[in-house]
Structure 1
Amino acid sequence: MGKRRRAERPKTRPALLGGVLVVVVGGAGLGAWALSGGDGDGAAAKPKIPTGPPTAAEVSRVGDAFLAAWRGGRTAEAAALTDDVPAARAALTGFTKDAKVSAVTLTPDTPAQTPGAGTETPATGTPGTRADARFPFAVKAIVTHAGQSKPLEYASALTVVRRASDGKPLVGWKPSVVHPDLHPGDRLVTGESGTPPIKAVDRSGRELTVKDHPSLGGVLDALRERYGKKAGGKGGVELRVVRAGAKQDGAQRTDAGAERKKADQAPDKTLLTLTEGTPGTLRTTIDATVQAAAERETAKRKQASVVLLRPSTGEILAVANSRPEGFNTAFQGSLAPGSTMKIVSAALLLEKDLAGMDKKHPCPKYASYGGWKFQNLEKFQIKKGTFRASFASSCNTAFITQSKKLKDDDLTRHARDVFGLGRNDWTIGVPTFDGAVPVQQDAPKAASLIGQGGVRANPLNMASVVATAKTGTFEQPYLVSPEVDDRKLASAPRKLDGDAQRQLRELLRYTATSGSAAKPMAGLGSDVGAKTGSAEVDGQKKPNGWFTAWRGDVAGAAVVQEGGRGGSSAGPLVAKLLKSAG
């Protein structure tokens, strides 16, 4: 017999696939296997990262978990559920430590814009890895300091976002989660107020309150911050929002004594008063009767803002916004003023003898400059017309045709030196935006002449512009007399040329009686002047409607955002208030 061969064992070899050690066995019938998570070629598939908006179930789960941790005082746990752990931990800790808040109850509200919890339908949001889903909730708590306690209630909201790196749903951290009035850098503080309250009164001594005049809410806060100590009051104990840049005690900012000019700056805000302070009295230039009328009229409209003042002095009589609790567009807005800017442009052309009130002036359907083709509303034209006719009809091309005769900085200099715009030096008593007329070239230079391009303004600016046109001299608007704090009011380097001012005043009077402003200004007498305007805004179906006018020694300006033509939207608002002001 031949020598028997010993059966060979199957050969084995180790292999590392997808992080898993497996043994590959040779031989028939043993050449196939399955690996959990494999992709069929011996490599494990990478986990799929969730994308798109968080689902309603994720929003509910994350929101509930965050509120539960916050409510239970588990600050670190709540912060860990956000996309900015250090900032969230600091804010939530300060809520208890600095704001002296306890007995917190947090109750989720049903999100109106998201499907019910438990479904896998994506919540409302823009598709992508940072899509948002809102989770509103109610807050009830107790604020306690020095033996005094008061309940605190308000509504807030958080949003759930999907972290881009791994798709994990988290609370998108913002200070407003803690309280809707908080912005980055702000803090909630309970303690003795370093700034005494004020009793603001109008020009006749009548008290001005937020209850009676909602649009003055932010104005009164700003006046308190600036004049609280000067008015002679004594601070109480309050829970307040201390804005970024303020000292720890909230008594004074690091930039105290300087008029803050940025439009996004806001004063400290009292949220809850535990112990009343003793207010000092501060007299303002406001007329309570005119202010009340302005409040009523703006409340009837969407996104309307208005200012009234005295041309002879600059005293502000009223300021109102349709949304009084929101941004103060009337003082701090930065919007293209449209054809109301033609007041400044006309003054420039008149001084340079590029136009004369009754001289012939071109107003074609179209005019091109710098590569842009401009046209008039509804492509109207005036054949063999005068500058008076062009101005009263708000002809765009009458100004565009003069662009080539102007230097790039002519309009900027004129707006600054005669009308006080863009100098950033108005000190009215509260923060304002003082207009902007930047130096521009080519097509934007031409667009600036008709209040587009880079020109920006608000009703305060344009009320001042028409007031300057009436008197020939810029008087800086103000709310508080400079005698209260010895501040210096801004001034323009020069007056408008006498002959140019005479013509400009007549152009505005003619527009108010026989031009585009005649309908709203009807019945207001002979000492009147006005200019209509509309400004196109990208993304809006309708332009912003503007109107500015004077009647006697009262001037006013308004904007109605997305209102359409200024004569029919902002015009009736200004005209009615000019009548009520006497």
Structure 2
Amino acid sequence: MGAGAFAVLAANSTHGSPEKTAASYFTAWRGGDVRAMSRLVFQVPDDFLERHLALSSSLGVDAIELTPGTLRMTGDETAEVPFTGRRKLRELGWWEFEGTLRLAVREKGWHVLWGPETLHPLLKDNGILELASVQAPSVELVTSEGDRLPDDNYADHYLEKLADAYPHEKGTALQAILPDDSTQTLISKVAKPKQQKTTLSRAVQAAAARALDGVSDAAVVAIRSSTGEIVGVADRLEGGSKAFTSYFPPGSTFKTVVAAALMDTGLSGSSQVECPATYQIPGFRSFTNAGSADRGSITFTEAFAHSCNTTFVEEVTTRMEPGDLIEAAAPWGFRGMQLPTGAGGACGKIPEPEELNLDWLGEAAIGQASVQATPLCMAALAAAVESGVWRSPRLLPADEAADLDGPPLRDVELDAGVIDGLREMMRSVVEYGTASEAGLPEGLAGKTGTAEVGGGAEHGWFIGYRDDLAFCVFVRNGGSGRSAAVPIAVRFLQGL
């Protein structure tokens, strides 16, 4: 070959190879020789050295390991090498990552095409990696049996409130701040939380949650009657409403309280009462039964079973004063009080209107007017009928709940004779009344409720108890208690 031809070939030749350039780059990177790395980079950025040193310094990198994959040609003069790596961070230990080293022929030689993403893919487009101080709950909430809570349990709001009430542990996290300003935690190190038992039963919680699958704007609250422990809460109420704290008119479920008040005036379950289709309070408004049902002369228990509005309006307005009903409701939790469950809560309230007249009293007798209750409160009411004692409900063991939310409200012993009468009445609702032939199990006692709401569909309620388990089902704007709430109760009880 002539000297001229050799000179042309040499001028057109490419120096080095992608394999050798990549190998040299990884060797220099492993050794922390940033200057040697920079000599292999085409058009090395002015801050190349600074970026490498700053990342290692800010993250506390003590060591780095790199494992190149197989080089692949992506064009005649371009190639890339996928690689895995891990950095040992002083505070967090080993952190694994993946990346790609890109190479190309530039100025007749193979060079690294460097970008911040070569250090880590998340540094692309001005992404940031940084260590951050984080806080994590010091407790892991579990069931009363010590088991993990069911998935999709619809109790997240209450569990988060409980967890947030405990002191949080400080820790460290490696975070990426992405170009869209979102934050991604890559690894973190915090103290392992201790297990904290709640009062929730895994079986009851699972049954309550599954009963609400496919149902919107509804809640189920279940309580162990003998202790006040909340053993299940599935809350799918919408618009920020919560089963523990949001008030709704209880409708005919409040007739349980009214029946107790009427028995204190001398009525008994066997007393004969009238249940006409319509009843007008003399000089005031009239009231009508659902479906304009006229049942004539029946027992008070039968009137309760069939939820006769006219019976309750007549008996209350002829036997009681408005203030009497407010006073009679107080032992059942209708005192406008907060419930120290551990995650907060409220019971019932009956705000006095400017004019306490018989119209108001008639409406209050059927759970309307200014009568308000939370689903939690109505579950506690059902538990009180079963046990004979109104107890302050709680989500944690008694001492833990008291530490977080204050001492429990005192127990209220209820009149044994009145309680016996209410139990018979609530059994009659299921046996032959408004909740009969609905698929409810034997031994269940309950009360349906349909609450009128101005400008919307009725709220559906059902409260009940069986075998030391009391519960409330509430469906906002769902229709009648029988059509909306009872089917959920059936699914709940079948799931136990």
TM-score, normalised on structure 2?
A: 0.66
Shift of 1:450: 0.7
Identify the residue that residue 403 of structure 1 maps to in structure 2: 317
Corresponding residue SS for 1:307: strand
Q: 1:406 to 1:238 in 2, by over 3 A?
A: farther
Of 462, 481, 484 in structure 2, the residue corresponding to residue 547 of structure 1 is 462
Q: Distance in 1 between matches of 2:199 and 2:334?
A: 22
1:505 aligned partner, one-letter code? R
1: CA distance between counterparts of 2:396 and 2:156?
A: 16
Check conservation: 2:144, 2:198, Cα contact below 8 A.
Answer: yes
Aligned to 1:105: none
2-structure distance, mates of 1:225, 1:322: 21
CA shift digits 1:436-472 (9 cap, x unpaired): 1234522122211111111111221111111111222
CA distance in 2, matches of 1:333, 1:220: 17
Aligned pair 1:360/2:272, yes or no?
A: yes
- The equivalent residue for 1:377 is 290
Shift of 1:552: 1.2
Residue 297 to residue 406, structure 1, CA distance change in 2 (3 Å) = same
Decide which of 445, 448, 452 is 1:536's aligned counterpart.
Answer: 452
Q: Is the contact made by 2:338 and 2:344 (CA closer than 8 Å) also made in structure 1? A: no
Q: In terms of Rg, which structure is larger? A: 2
Structure 2 residue 367 is matched with structure 1 residue 451? yes
Aligned to 2:44: none
Aligned residue for 1:420? 333
The answer to whether the Cα contact below 8 Å between 2:143 and 2:197 also exists between their aligned partners in 1 is yes
Q: What's the CA shift for 1:342?
A: 0.4
Cα distance in 2, alignment partners of residues 452 and 429 from structure 1: 30
Partner of 2:154, secondary structure, is helix
CA deviations over 1:237-289 (Å, ceiling 9, x no partner): 689xxxxxxxxxxxxxxxxxxxxxxxxxxxxxxx9767353323211011122
Instruction: State the partner residue of 2:83.
Output: none
Question: In the alignment, does 2:156 pair up with 1:234?
Answer: no
- Tell me if structure 2 keeps the 8 A contact 1:316–1:477: yes
The amino acid of 1:509's aligned partner reads: R
Q: Hey, what's the Cα distance between the residues in 1 that align with 2:127 and 2:138? A: 20
Does the 8 A contact of 1:551 with 1:578 survive in 2? no
Distance 2:439 2:340 in 1: 31
Change (3 A) 1:513 1:238: farther
Residue identity in the other structure for 1:525: E
1:144-293 map, 5 Å: 147-148=131-132, 191-193=133-135, 196-208=137-149, 212-226=151-165, 228-229=166-167, 234-236=169-171, 275-278=188-191, 279-293=193-207
Task: Indicate yes or no: 2:347 matched with 1:434.
Answer: yes
Per-residue CA shift, 1:63-98, capped at 9, x if unaligned?
xxxxxxxxxxxxxxxxxxxxxxxxxxxxxxxxxxxx
Secondary structure of the structure 1 residue equivalent to 2:438: helix
Hey, what's the Cα distance between the residues in 2 that align with 1:235 and 1:557?
Answer: 39
Q: Is the 8 A contact 1:363 1:383 kept in 2?
A: yes
Q: Would the aligned equivalents of 1:199 and 1:281 in 2 still touch at CA under 8 Å?
A: yes
Change (3 A) 1:457 1:285: same
Which structure: greater strand fraction? Answer: 2
- Mapped partners of 1:408, 1:143: distance in 2: 67
Contact 1:197 1:235 in 2 (8 A): no
Q: Percent identity?
A: 30
1:508 aligns with 2:416: no
Query: Counterpart amino acid of 1:305?
Result: A
One of 215, 233, 237 as aligned partner of 1:301: 215
Offset from partner CA, 1:384-420 (integer Å, 9 cap, x none): 2111111100000111112242122222222212x12
Residues 1:389 and 2:389 are matched in the alignment: no
Q: Distance in 2 between matches of 1:365 and 1:459?
A: 30
Map residues 558-573 of structure 1 onto 2, 5 A cutoff.
558-573=473-488
Deviation at 1:323, TM superposition (A): 5.3
Following the alignment from structure 1 to structure 2, what is the Cα–Cα distance between the partners of residues 143 and 391?
Answer: 68
Mapped pair 1:329 → 2:242: yes
Higher relative contact order (CA 8 A, sep 6+): 2
The equivalent residue for 2:72 is none
1:334-388, Cα deviation, whole Å (9 max, x unpaired): 11111000000001001121x2201111212222337322111111122121111
8 Å CA contact retained: 2:338, 2:345: no
- Output the CA distance in 1 between the equivalents of 2:200 and 2:261: 32
Distance 1:300 1:196, change over 3 A: closer
Of the candidates 442, 450, 472, which is equivalent to residue 525 of structure 1? 442
Whole-angstrom CA distance in 2 between matches of 1:561 and 1:458: 12
Distance 1:276 1:438, change over 3 A: farther
Q: Which runs of 5+ in 1 are unaligned?
A: 1-140, 149-190, 240-270
Structure 2 unaligned residues grouped into runs of 5+: 1-124, 175-182
Instruction: Say which SS state the counterpart of residue 249 (structure 2) adopts.
Output: coil
Cα RMSD (Å): 2.6
Residue in 1 that maps onto 2:416: 498
Residue identity opposite 2:158 in structure 1 = V
Distance 1:237 1:413 in 2: 55
